[in-house]
Amino acid sequence: MENDQHIIYGFSKKSRDEKLELVTRYLADPKSAIALFKSFQHANSKMQRLLEEFSENTITNFPLPYGICPNVLVDGKIYMVPMVIEESSVVAAAAGSAKYWFSRGGFKTEIIDTEKIGQVHFLWKDDKNLLFARFPALKERLIKECFHITENMIKRGGGIIDIKLKDLSEREPGLMQLYCTFETAQSMGANFINSCLEQFAATFKQWHLLQKEFSEDGLEIIMCILSNLTPNCRIKCYVESDMDRLNDIVPGWSGKEFARRFCLGIRVAELDPFRAATHNKGIFNGVDAVVLATGNDFRAVEACGHAYASLPGRYTPLTKTELSDNHFRFILEIPFALGIVGGLTRLHPLVKLSLELLESPSATELMSIAAAVGLANNFSAVKSLVTTGIQKGHMKMHLLNILKQLKVPENRKEEVIDYFKDKVVSVSAVRQLAEKWHLTGVTEN
Ligand code: MEV
């Protein structure tokens, strides 16, 4: 109650300037804060309005780097893949890996399926056997009465695949669900699925009332929502090579020794969920960056991947290796639901451009591209981890960032990089050196 006086009423109704004033009121320097927030607003007011409309209570924009991973050869087609990510080294790692595999046949993919899932969760107090007995008739009605929603999707090759009745009453008395599967063609399908589910619930309630053997309060709908775990919307992506073509992947290493160490790295992730989480995070470094650049929902993609990784009963890595007859194969199997229509895809100008850069891929081609970049990042990370260690590459990027921060002139950077070749990089160590060599904030001549 006491805190009620601090509640802000009507924040969403205020103008952007009023919001800015309110938000910065208690900051040390509200004027500068407002100026900084404003400096990130788009110069074109129409564009700014468009960006603001994607979300609520917007006061500015938050830019992230938009990079390109060139040379991504997927199923025989070469892509320049847009990646939106704030973490240094990720695009570089993906690019290194993509280039390496380019001359070894590139990434190959197989779409396993594209089935999406939605559920109507409900409590059932009436005769369960009777519900199961009458379910075929109910199902027919559910599908028929949803036609006004599915009609267009059917024209585009999608629609309802099936509706099943599931009994979960062993987990919770009375708990049941309509377990529904969908094909959503070129869209991720969240809105379509949720609309269908809500229509199913309405039809189900009406139908239930009309069945005279059932009681008035025998059905309680709990909720209708898609599931982000879509194990059957899944892709397999792999790279492969004869072992001798892996010779010198790290100077002085034979392909065989590299493959042995690489497989050990994967094995650790298979055996230990603590490693598996980091291992999969490295895959999502690449996947998420593509998902973001193409206006898809990276939270949904992550939720799906991590839940899928846990399906065996413990958390597992999403990649595996196969070694046979002097042959190395590295495979990613990952489920995710992506779309090239709907959501931000037609609205955000950079998303439109990303899709154009990728030569207007279909939803399944986009799955292949995102999986390839995820595999590229994972290959790069595990390769570094089991050979030189991860910090070598990371530290170089870290050093470059520090040099930028300290405004070290371009023509002096190489000396500093050379100096730190065999030393530990830290902000203070670089600052000290830069001060000693009089490099900070010097303007280039
Ligand atoms: C860092 O963003 C990702 C890695 O930790 C992935 C991995 O350990 O496999 C390098």
What pLDDT is attached to residue 24? 97
Expressed in angstroms and rounded, the spacing between residue 128 Cα and the centre of ligand 1 is 49
**Helix extents (H) in 387-407:** 391-405
State the DSSP string of 177-236: EEEEEEE-TTB--HHHHHHHHHHHHHHHHHHHHH-TTS-TTSEEEEEEEEES--TTEEEE
**394 catalytically annotated:** yes
Report pLDDT digits (tens) over 229-282: 999 999 999 999 999 999 999 999 999 999 999 999 999 999 999 999 999 999
Q: Are 124 and 219 in contact (CB under 8 A)?
A: yes
**110 catalytically annotated:** no
Measured at the CA of 439, the angle between CA 434 and CA 443, to 5 degrees, comes to 155
Q: Does 17 score more than 80 pLDDT?
A: yes
Expressed in angstroms and rounded, the spacing between residue 275 Cα and the centre of ligand 1 is 10
- Strand locations in 53-210 (E): 66-74, 77-84, 108-114, 116-124, 159-167, 175-183
Across the beta sheet with 175-183, the strand order is: 159-167, 175-183, 116-124, 219-227
- Copy the structure tokens of residue 380: 């790069």
Q: Are 38 and 20 in contact (CB under 8 A)?
A: yes
Closest CA to 96 of 64, 72, 67, 78: 72
Q: Is the CB of 286 under 6 A from ligand 1?
A: no
Which pTM does this prediction carry? 0.90
CA distance 96 to 373: 11
CB atoms within 10 A of CB 355: 20
User: Which atom of ligand 1 lies nearest, measured to the CA of 90?
Assistant: 2
Q: Does 169 score more than 80 pLDDT?
A: yes
- Copy the structure tokens of residue 296: 């898809």
Residues 6+ apart with CB under 8 A from 224: 118, 119, 120, 121, 194, 197, 198, 200, 201
CA distance 203 to 419: 72
What pLDDT is attached to residue 345? 86
Residue 157 gets the label, from left (phi > 0), alpha (psi -120 to 50) or beta, of left
Residues 6+ apart with CB under 8 A from 1: none
Q: Is the CB of 381 under 6 A from ligand 1?
A: yes
* Domains defined for the chain, CATH in brackets: 1-63 (no CATH), 66-113+231-388 (3.90.770.10), 116-227 (3.30.70.420), 393-436 (no CATH)
Which residue's CA is minimally distant from atom 1 of ligand 1?
Answer: 282
Report pLDDT digits (tens) over 186-204: 999 999 999 999 999 999 9
CA distance 302 to 242: 32
Q: Are 227 and 337 in contact (CB under 8 A)?
A: no
Report pLDDT digits (tens) over 124-141: 999 999 999 999 999 999
Q: Is the CB of 111 under 6 A from ligand 1?
A: no
Q: Is residue 319 classed as helix, strand or coil in its secondary structure? A: strand
- Copy the structure tokens of residue 54: 């994607």
What pLDDT is attached to residue 209? 96
CA distance 241 to 278: 26
Q: Is the CB of 211 under 6 A from ligand 1?
A: no
Expressed in angstroms and rounded, the spacing between residue 15 Cα and the centre of ligand 1 is 42
Expressed in angstroms and rounded, the spacing between residue 284 Cα and the centre of ligand 1 is 10
Q: Name the DSSP class of 94.
A: H
User: Which atom of ligand 1 lies nearest, measured to the CA of 282?
Assistant: 6
- Copy the structure tokens of residue 248: 């010198």
Report pLDDT digits (tens) over 352-407: 999 999 999 999 999 999 999 999 999 999 999 999 888 777 777 788 889 998 99
CA distance 126 to 367: 44
CB atoms within 10 A of CB 404: 11
Q: Is residue 52 classed as helix, strand or coil in its secondary structure? A: helix
Calculate mean pLDDT across residues 405-433. Answer: 90
CA distance 108 to 66: 25
